[in-house]
Amino acid sequence: MSSILSKLDTERFGVRIGKVQDPTKEDLLKLDEKVATERIGMVILRLGTEQHDLIQTAEMQGFRLMDTLVKLRMDLRGAEIPDVDDRIIVRPFKTGETPILTKVARQAFSNWIGHYHADPRLPKDKCTEVYVDMIRRSCDEKDVVDFVFVAETHGEVLGFCTGKITKDKVGEGILAAVGKKGVGLNIYTNLMRYQSRHFKEEGCSSWVGATQVNNYHVQHALINLGLRPFGSEYTFHKWYD
């Protein structure tokens, strides 16, 4: 197993945090040795919900469940995607809008239901800043995402979404948020319509996204658009002090 240190998470929380994905059972059994070697204070582990043997191994080693993700996928071949509502403008992000989008993210992700916020040992304000930092980096740094789209009404930006396109031409929804003023205005639905059209126009055969199992609003919006569940994952944390 290569280095598990997550530099971004370590910088965000001031604790040496490791991330493990797609481990073998042997990897998990030897994880404590790896943690000791790299002086890791906490490990984030993600496993498919069908990987019962690995899940039970992780539980026996002291990992605690923090969240469950549902993965959804849309087949874009021949898909009919609804137009964006005329009352909402969705467009690419413009230089200089980073502060606006970080404000939207801070509103949307305070008291979030993701694995960071679920961990009682992580400060809630720093957990929120994870998502604020994600959109800041997406706007200001190259190669973080392939696009940032914003939604506005009456000249005010109320939400955003980001995504990437893989080499195999699969679209990946990365991050989306709607600020307080945009709640109830179908901002998220229209962002997803625009994103779907973009993926299709770029030649993607499908696009995939994920959300928490108890984020019913987002699941309903994506299913209404044509995405269907195809997988799920657990996120575990383990502290080593």
pLDDT at position 231: 98
**Every domain range in the chain assigned CATH 3.40.630.30:** 73-232
In this prediction, residue 1 has a pLDDT band, given cuts at 50, 70 and 90, of confident
pLDDT (tens digit per residue) in 59-87 = 999 999 999 999 999 999 989 999 999 99
Q: How many CB atoms lie within 10 A of CB 204?
A: 22
pLDDT at position 104: 98
**CATH assignment, 73-232:** 3.40.630.30
pLDDT at position 166: 97
pTM of the predicted model, to two decimals? Answer: 0.94
Sequence-distant (≥ 6) Cβ neighbours of residue 114 within 8 angstroms: 67, 127, 212
Residue 20 in contact with residue 44, Cβ under 8 Å? yes
Sequence-distant (≥ 6) Cβ neighbours of residue 23 within 8 angstroms: 1, 31, 45, 47, 54
Using CA atoms, how far apart are residues 150 and 94, in angstroms rounded to an integer? 9
pLDDT at position 222: 97
pLDDT at position 140: 96
Q: What is the mean pLDDT of the chain?
A: 97
**Stretch 186-198: mean pLDDT:** 97
Tokens at 223, concatenated: 């299913």
pLDDT (tens digit per residue) in 118-128 = 999 999 999 99
Tokens at 108, concatenated: 């949307």
CA 69, distance to chain mean position in Å, is: 10
